[in-house]
Structure 1
Amino acid sequence: MNGTSSLMTLKRIFIFSLFSVFVLCFLLLVNEGHIKHESSSPPVGIQTFHKYNINCLAIYDFDPMEVEKALIIKKNQIVKDTDESLSVATSNCPLFIQTRGYDDVCVSEEEKDFPIAYSLVVHKYAWMVERLIKAIYSPANIYCIHYDEKSPASFKSAIKSFASCLPNVFVASKIEYVYYASFSRVQADLNCFSDLLRSEVKWKYLINLCGQDFPLRTNIELVSELKELNGTNSLMTRQTPEHQKRRYKYQYEVIGNSVYVKRLVGTERLKSAPPHGIEIFFGSAYFVLSRDFIVYMNSSAVVKDFLKWSEDTFSPDEHIWATLVRIPGVPGEVPRSSPDITDLMSKTRLVKWLGHEPHLYPPCSGIHIHEVCIYSLGELRWLLNYGHWFANKFDPNMDPIPLQCLEEKLEERRKLFGC
């Protein structure tokens, strides 16, 4: 080998070595995240809510090892998903839609021909709101979200960002400060009613939800059961218990020097009798109402007078809907002479009330807030077998496992229908 050849060989070795070092450094930088690159897998910024390594089938069967594992997660390992992370995830709508599977939702012809409208009144847990909508999502449906004006800016920003990613999800055009047990809760739903009636989507039924509800049925199952209602309304409506009548016999008012500390208080001022001789019935805040009924409400002077009369009552959402569906001649009427329809009889919402445990249902395995059970592992089988469409309440910061397992169960049910 002559000197020239040796020199050329050394140059090649040097160049190859330099190239190898460059490639190694590049890979290290990529691995450390210092170099941005396009990838089909979601970047860190698109990470969704936290999922736990849990076997839901074993939990349904009360497998001791898996239940113990879930209880340890509940006690020590809960990851609190932030509103800000949803804002980050939805800053890239196409990637968010793909990551969460909104672009791959199976829709039957039956669902396309029977769109459902939703009014969601929410105030916290942005990811929970997103998961709720995802669990019942269909491009044929339409979803109005009303957030509480008092909610943190991070929550409101996340909800607006999420809604901007989907053409059939929107934030109500008029937003209220919502106060516990006041008419503002009803007004929030009414605001969504108006927006939904103006929508081009000719929905058949309207269902109202809160941010801690979760479905127990898939959209195609809901469509099938709503069709069976054949235009009637579904909700709790019963004779008012004597101890509840004070709620509308006396005036209540919202007081406070700041929008963030206002609260509803009772007075000793008697109210006038309900207008138009309307008989008051007792129910809940949750309903399934036909489009014809909502249209009627929107144009009826009797309804408007009754809503106005209810503005200074306590928790008016627990008598307004139950009463309006009993007015003679309304679309989907429940005759005044009909027997009581309890919350367990209506499929609208499954709630465990402290006062009804244990004689109506098993004791709550979670905790109670405002006498309502926050569901835990012990409720899963009961929830799925009771026949209701939605359940309340869930709290991902207290026990995230029930939500994750219900999501898996709904996915299984969708597959049974070919999706």
Structure 2
Amino acid sequence: MKLAFFIAAHRNPQQVEDLAHLLSDPRDSVVLHIDRKADAAVHDTARRLRDRLSARLLPSRTIYWGGWSMSRILLDAIRDLCASGLDWDYLINLSGQDMPLRPIDELRTFLAARPGANYIDCRQISELDNPLRGVIQRRVRWITYEGAGRTRRLPVPMTLLHRGRVRYYGSQWVMLSRPFCDWVARTGARDAGWSTLPVTFASDELLSQQMIMASPFRHTLVKDNKRYYRFAGRAHPVVLQRDDLPTVDASGAFFARKFDPAVDASIIRELAARIAP
């Protein structure tokens, strides 16, 4: 079981470097995307990882929160890996502020027990409880575009454009099988279910969901992405600290987010000690 880890980062270069080293293994591949807006130190770190770990470095895009750019880099990573000639079985996407919770060999064993399964948090929008259902329905109501340094919404309704195509929602953090990724890489936007997402707000929480349900692999869907994160009424997850470890460990997840050494470096050190050989 060979893994490909896709890390998207924009800050904390040392944290990104430490994460990449934790995930480095001769059997596996690491792919990096660095936001074009990131400080030079983050880009320098990525180039070092390319040279020292043979990490693949995607061309940098400017990333805007809530915009299509956040989804596009996952498609970039899928297409790059599928065309790379590398031997891998699963693609796992991470942010530069994620951490593994268990040794990677435990993840290999888990994935090998159900080969071909795709681990995606996928929920039907019409069946969500309010207020979340209303929030997601508003996302697909208005045309959105990236411009003038941020994501902007236009007062132009998308009802006719979508025509009911966007029906599923969930987390953007996934574990995708190679056969499904190969299908994504060779399938056009319309047939893959994402043709309207480039003008949809926060499409990163819609992309993998529409693709798996539009694909011949929908029977492989496991609606559990094996991630831990916690929200507290805000758009971004809570930064986890050492007191959170019992809850994190009890979750059964393989990865968690997010972590920040400026808030609590001790939890990062403890998790790294579990993973490092």
TM-score by length of 2: 0.90
Q: How far apart are residue 288 of structure 1 and its match? A: 0.6
Equivalent residue for 2:257, pick from 379, 392, 406: 392
Change over 3 Å in CA distance of 1:230–1:132 after alignment to 2: same
The C-alpha deviation readout for 1:49-104, integer Å capped at 9, x for no partner, is xxxxxxxxxxxxxxxxxxxxxxxxxxxxxxxxxxxxxxxxxxxxxxxxxxxxxxxx
Give the aligned length: 269
Q: Within 5 Å, give how 1:368-379 maps onto structure 2.
A: 370-379=235-244
Change over 3 Å in CA distance of 1:274–1:228 after alignment to 2: farther
* Contact kept in structure 1, 2:68 and 2:198, CA below 8 Å: yes
Match of 2:106? 221
Match of 1:104? none
Equivalent residue for 1:354, pick from 209, 232, 238: 232
Q: How far apart are residue 158 of structure 1 and its match? A: 2.0
Match of 1:77? none
* Contact kept in structure 2, 1:183 and 1:317, CA below 8 Å: yes
Question: Separation in 2 of the partners of 1:332 and 1:297?
Answer: 16
Question: Separation in 1 of the partners of 2:6 and 2:93?
Answer: 5
* Contact kept in structure 2, 1:205 and 1:288, CA below 8 Å: yes
Question: Separation in 2 of the partners of 1:181 and 1:347?
Answer: 21
* Residue identity opposite 2:256 in structure 1: A
Question: Separation in 1 of the partners of 2:64 and 2:191?
Answer: 21
Q: Within 5 Å, give how 1:266-415 maps onto structure 2.
A: 266-271=153-158, 272-274=160-162, 278-301=165-188, 303=190, 306-327=193-214, 329-330=216-217, 333-334=220-221, 341=223, 346-355=224-233, 370-411=235-276
* Contact kept in structure 2, 1:135 and 1:218, CA below 8 Å: no
Q: Within 5 Å, give how 1:239-250 maps onto structure 2.
A: 239-240=124-125, 241-250=133-142
Query: Secondary structure at 2:196's aligned position in 1?
Result: helix
Q: How far apart are residue 308 of structure 1 and its match? A: 3.3
Q: Give yes or no for the alignment of 1:170 onto 2:62.
A: no
Q: How far apart are residue 233 of structure 1 and its match? A: 0.5
Change over 3 Å in CA distance of 1:305–1:383 after alignment to 2: closer
Q: How far apart are residue 302 of structure 1 and its match? A: 5.1
Q: List, as ranges, runs of 4+ consecutive aligned residues in structure 1 with deviation greater than 6 Å.
A: none
Paired-residue identity, %: 23
Match of 2:143? 251
Q: Which has the higher contact order (CA 8 A, sep 6+)?
A: 2
Question: Separation in 2 of the partners of 1:304 and 1:170?
Answer: 28
Question: Separation in 2 of the partners of 1:373 and 1:229?
Answer: 31
Match of 2:3? 116
* Contact kept in structure 2, 1:176 and 1:184, CA below 8 Å: yes
Q: Give yes or no for the alignment of 1:193 onto 2:78.
A: yes
Change over 3 Å in CA distance of 1:141–1:303 after alignment to 2: farther
Q: Within 5 Å, give how 1:83-162 maps onto structure 2.
A: 114-162=1-49
* Residue identity opposite 1:404 in structure 2: R
Question: Separation in 1 of the partners of 2:231 and 2:180?
Answer: 29
Question: Separation in 1 of the partners of 2:74 and 2:188?
Answer: 19
Q: How far apart are residue 197 of structure 1 and its match? A: 1.1
Q: How far apart are residue 254 of structure 1 and its match? A: 1.8
* Contact kept in structure 2, 1:122 and 1:210, CA below 8 Å: yes
Query: Secondary structure at 2:146's aligned position in 1?
Result: strand
Change over 3 Å in CA distance of 1:374–1:268 after alignment to 2: same
- Greater percentage in helix: 1
Question: Separation in 2 of the partners of 1:403 and 1:327?
Answer: 38
Equivalent residue for 1:238, pick from 123, 128, 134: 123
Greater Rg by CA:
1
* Residue identity opposite 1:313 in structure 2: T
* Residue identity opposite 1:130 in structure 2: E
Any stretches of 5+ residues in structure 2 without a counterpart?
126-132
The C-alpha deviation readout for 1:4-57, integer Å capped at 9, x for no partner, is xxxxxxxxxxxxxxxxxxxxxxxxxxxxxxxxxxxxxxxxxxxxxxxxxxxxxx
* Contact kept in structure 1, 2:191 and 2:214, CA below 8 Å: no
Equivalent residue for 1:204, pick from 72, 86, 89: 89
* Residue identity opposite 1:394 in structure 2: F
The C-alpha deviation readout for 1:237-262, integer Å capped at 9, x for no partner, is 11222331111121012231xxxxx1
Query: Secondary structure at 2:8's aligned position in 1?
Result: strand
Alpha-carbon RMSD? 2.0
